[in-house]
Amino acid sequence: MPSEPDQPGAPDPDLVRAWLSVVAATAYVPRSAAEIEDLLRSLLGRLTTALAAEPFDAAAGSRVGELMVEGALTGEATLERSLRVLADGLADAGHGARSVAPLLAAVAAGYAAALRRRTLAQQENMKLALLTAKQRAERDRRATENRFREVFTASAIGIAITEQDGTFVEVNPALAAILGCPADQLPNRALAEFIAVEDSDELPVFGEADRRRLVRPNGESAWVYLTTSLLHDDNGATRYRVTMVQDLSELMLLGNQLSHQNLHDALTGAANRLHFQSRLEAMHGQTSPRHLLTLLCLDLDAFSLINTTHGHQAGDRVLRSVAGRLMNAVDGHDAVVARIGGDEFAVLIAHGTAAPPVSKLVEGINQELSEPEYDGRLGLAVSATIGVVRCKPSEMSSTEMFRAADAALRYARSTGRYQWAEFDAHADRAARKVGESATALPAAWENGELDLAYQPVVRLSDGKVVRVRALARTTGLDGVDSTTELAELTGLSVPLGPWLLAKSTESVPVWQALFAGTADPDEAVHRVHLSALQSADADLSATVNTAVSRAGVAPGLLEIALDTTTVLTGRGDAQDNLRTLSDIGVVTALHGFNGGPREIAMVERFGVRTVVLADPFENWRPDWLPRDAVPMRATLRLIEALESLGTSVGVLGVRDHAEARWWADQGVRTGEGPAFGGPGDVEDILARLRPTAN
């Protein structure tokens, strides 16, 4: 007698383990061993329960088959080997083959049905996925096709898609125009029919442009470039040819040229004003509202001077070179360069969300421009005054941008040449940034044609030299004044100022030692006269600070004279400069002093320590003038007034010792001029003064 099978719900653990090792060897079940074992135990439980049941119910077996599929017990050999293990195990447990065989057959049937359902479900999913993929592909293809269609129709180049034998399949409007034949008359004809007989023997080489002569139906002929390529189908077989036809006829070329001329400045090749405005509008419209645009308007400094001194040819050359350099300066940016007036240029740059600082852009442009342009011996460098506006398209319209850049340019020009200003909607002066770095120097400096000279300054009471005045001197140009004058005219005096200050301050220790015995210990030993532009330069005090700390000298040893008129009219930063220099400890001075009541008031207000008179007697010798002459009386009263403020008075152009004595008698402290020798370099001055000092 076979023994009774195990109680339902308590399946044989050894059989579960055996089944588990079959599953582990045949299927990937994404669960832990314990979880799989639980599953198998419950399945085995169902089977043993079914075997015990009367009458026999095959449905339980088929449910176990289903659960095997649901549980992913679906490896290639899982079912077969599972059934074998189960058959052996159940038989060992005493179940008769009569009941075990149909039960396991039901398991197999249930398994097969479930697997089939799963396969169908997976195929259904797959079908949906494929449809989605297909729809996506179709959408992409349509987009590509639309783009192609647009190019095809809008192109100025004729495009023909032809069969292998050259019969037209499709042509674009441009091709119909080039062939001089309506598009609807082209089907069934071939491109070769339009090619002049002498040329038609051989079709062009693929991929290479080939020059051919077309004969139009009306007998006209035209030169064209043909470029042919092959279109392949998905299998890589050649289906069609694509031929591009470019009209080379004179009319076409002329048209192209005309449109170029309409849009570009003939002299420089840069965009013209009209074209620039439309480019500005277009770029403004196409730029994302969050992106930045920079518009610079440039006005060349003293350009008329180049024209009058060197002729218009030189002027034209400078304009061409400026256009080229501006293009260089913005190379790598999405930018347009235009000549918008005689000596006015404009540059528009489209940035992303991040843009280089405006000061960097301006610096780059200035640097490009300051490189001298050589023509034979003559080196011409230009500088420009620049107005800048930077904004996002959402903040300003294109017209407003142009106006703003122009306003900034006018503002920059008012502060002098070689300046730049950024448009400031609030007209907040403090926010204005004036060009920080004007370090680029024109040709003369680079070639050593410019050097420093020192003019002795004498204490009139005893005729002793107590100070020197530093000057920039150009070899090849006569007279010291013309250097400054030229520099002022061209705007180059602004960069000249820092150079003069920095270089000359280096020799202050020499003068300090030289004048130690003669001058008062706290007196300045070094004087600099700054021009109008230099006086108004926003960077002046910074320049002086740097010069003083580099040379390691006390600021009180420096006397810096600003241009009186510039300070009086409050141009640029002149008044601030006077105040700041005084704060630093520099001996402040004014030169070109005329003595008007407002000038005197200013001396008092700013505590100016020295005043250098402008020539009050228009080149007459004062000691020969009658003492009751009106200018004489006025000058004497002026000296008196300045004395009373504790301000030291100085004069220039002292001719001889008699004149020097006369000025001394009137209370003037210092004098310069031919009486005391002209300017010389450090060695000269040392040679002249050493014997006296000894």
Partner 1 sequence: MDAVADWVPEGIDLERPSAARLYDYLLGGAHNFAHDRELAERFIKAQPNAREIARHNRSFLRRSVLFMIERGVRQFLDLGSGIPTVGNVHEIAQQADPTTRVVYVDYEEVAYAHSTLMLADNPLATIVQADLTRPRDILDAETTRELLDFTEPIGLLMAGVFHFVPPAKDPRRIVAEYRDALVPGSYLSFSQFTRDLMPAEMDRVVEVMKSSRDPMYPRSHAEITELFDGFEVVEPGIVPTALWQPDPDLDDGGEPNRAGIYAGVGRKI
Tell me the closest approach of the beta carbon of residue 284 to partner 1, in angstroms.
28
Q: Judged by CB, which is closer to partner 1: 75, or 491?
A: 75
Q: Which of 7, 123, 259, 414 binds partner 1 (CB under 8 A)?
A: 123
Tell me the closest approach of the beta carbon of residue 76 to partner 1, in angstroms.
6
435: phi then psi, degrees, rounded to nearest 5: -40, 120
Pairing of strands 558-563, 526-529: parallel
Per DSSP, the three-state class of 143 is helix
Tell me the closest approach of the beta carbon of residue 450 to partner 1, in angstroms.
54
Q: Which of 53, 131, 205, 305 binds partner 1 (CB under 8 A)?
A: 131
Q: Judged by CB, which is closer to partner 1: 17, or 216?
A: 17
Burial of 14 (C-beta count, 10 Å sphere; 0-12/13-18/19+)? exposed
Q: Which of 7, 125, 286, 414 binds partner 1 (CB under 8 A)?
A: 125
Q: Which of 7, 9, 10, 24 binds partner 1 (CB under 8 A)?
A: 24
Q: Judged by CB, which is closer to partner 1: 10, or 24?
A: 24
All residues at 6 or more sequence positions from 360 whose CB lies less than 8 Å from its CB, including other chains:
none
Q: Judged by CB, which is closer to partner 1: 127, or 216?
A: 127
554 binds partner 1 (CB under 8 A): no
Q: Judged by CB, which is closer to partner 1: 24, or 59?
A: 24
Q: Which of 119, 164, 286, 594 binds partner 1 (CB under 8 A)?
A: 119
Q: Judged by CB, which is closer to partner 1: 197, or 237?
A: 237
Q: Which of 21, 146, 309, 482 binds partner 1 (CB under 8 A)?
A: 21
Q: Judged by CB, which is closer to partner 1: 23, or 318?
A: 23
Nearest to 437 by CA among 343, 356, 333, 365: 365
Of 128-136, 344-352, 535-543, 638-646, the window that binds partner 1 (rule: CB under 8 A) is: 128-136
Of 26-34, 236-244, 593-601, 647-655, the window that binds partner 1 (rule: CB under 8 A) is: 26-34
Q: Which of 84, 136, 211, 290 binds partner 1 (CB under 8 A)?
A: 136
Q: Which of 59, 97, 129, 282 binds partner 1 (CB under 8 A)?
A: 129
Q: Which of 53, 137, 151, 274 binds partner 1 (CB under 8 A)?
A: 137
* Per-residue contact flags (x/-) with partner 1 for residues 231 to 260, judged by CB under 8 A: ---x--------------------------
Q: Do the beta carbons of residue 586 and residue 559 sit within 8 Å?
A: yes
18 binds partner 1 (CB under 8 A): no
Pairing of strands 334-339, 670-671: unpaired
Q: Judged by CB, which is closer to partner 1: 37, or 170?
A: 37
Of 16-24, 207-215, 411-419, 648-656, the window that binds partner 1 (rule: CB under 8 A) is: 16-24
**Is the bond into 498 cis (omega within 30 degrees of 0)?**
no
Total residues at interface with partner 1 (CB under 8 A): 35
Binding residues for partner 1 restricted to 61-80, rule: CB under 8 A: 72, 74-76
Q: Do the beta carbons of residue 509 and residue 686 sit within 8 Å?
A: no
Q: Do the beta carbons of residue 294 and residue 329 sit within 8 Å?
A: no
32 binds partner 1 (CB under 8 A): yes
Q: Judged by CB, which is closer to partner 1: 115, or 252?
A: 115
Nearest to 531 by CA among 559, 570, 504, 492: 492
- Lookup: tokens for 526: 């070094």
Q: Judged by CB, which is closer to partner 1: 26, or 531?
A: 26
* Per-residue contact flags (x/-) with partner 1 for residues 35 to 64, judged by CB under 8 A: -xx---------------------------
Q: Convert 39-66 into a string of H (helix), E (strand) and C (coil).
A: HHHHHHHHHHHHHHCCCCCHHHHHHHHH
394 binds partner 1 (CB under 8 A): no
Q: Judged by CB, which is closer to partner 1: 28, or 206?
A: 28
143 binds partner 1 (CB under 8 A): no
Q: Which of 1, 34, 430, 630 binds partner 1 (CB under 8 A)?
A: 34
513 binds partner 1 (CB under 8 A): no
- Lookup: tokens for 562: 């600003």
Task: Enumerate the β-bridge partners of residue 613.
Answer: 593
CA distance 555 to 19: 100
Q: Judged by CB, which is closer to partner 1: 3, or 32?
A: 32
Q: Which of 1, 3, 4, 30 binds partner 1 (CB under 8 A)?
A: 30
Q: Which of 9, 53, 122, 229 binds partner 1 (CB under 8 A)?
A: 122
Residue type, 554: A
Of 28-36, 307-315, 417-425, 635-643, the window that binds partner 1 (rule: CB under 8 A) is: 28-36
Instruction: Kindly provide the residue ranges of all beta strands, DSSP E only, lying in 277-413, ordered along the sequence.
Output: 293-300, 334-339, 344-350, 373-375, 378-380, 384-391
Nearest to 44 by CA among 97, 3, 6: 6
The number of C-alpha atoms within 13 Å of 565 and in the hemisphere containing its C-beta is: 6
Task: Enumerate the β-bridge partners of residue 575.
Answer: none
- Lookup: tokens for 520: 């008062």
The residue with tokens 């080196």 is 379
497: phi then psi, degrees, rounded to nearest 5: -55, -55
- Lookup: tokens for 310: 């060197």
- Lookup: tokens for 639: 């000296």
Rg (CA), the chain: 48
Tell me the closest approach of the beta carbon of residue 316 to partner 1, in angstroms.
50
CA distance 362 to 422: 10
Q: Which of 7, 132, 257, 447 binds partner 1 (CB under 8 A)?
A: 132
Burial of 135-151, coded b for 16+ CB within 10 Å and e otherwise, reads eeeeeeeeeeeeeeeee
- Lookup: tokens for 287: 């730029």
Pairing of strands 378-380, 293-300: unpaired
**Is the bond into 55 cis (omega within 30 degrees of 0)?**
yes
Tell me the closest approach of the beta carbon of residue 159 to partner 1, in angstroms.
27
Nearest to 23 by CA among 36, 14, 38: 36
Q: Judged by CB, which is closer to partner 1: 28, or 148?
A: 28
274 binds partner 1 (CB under 8 A): no
Q: Which of 97, 128, 230, 282 binds partner 1 (CB under 8 A)?
A: 128
581 binds partner 1 (CB under 8 A): no
CA dist list (Å): 40 to 8, 118, 411, 525: 14, 20, 90, 107
**Cα-Cα-Cα-Cα dihedral of 66, 72, 78, 82, to 10°?**
-50
Binding-site ranges for partner 1 (CB under 8 A): 20-21, 24-30, 32-34, 36-37, 72, 74-76, 118-119, 122-123, 125-134, 136-137, 234
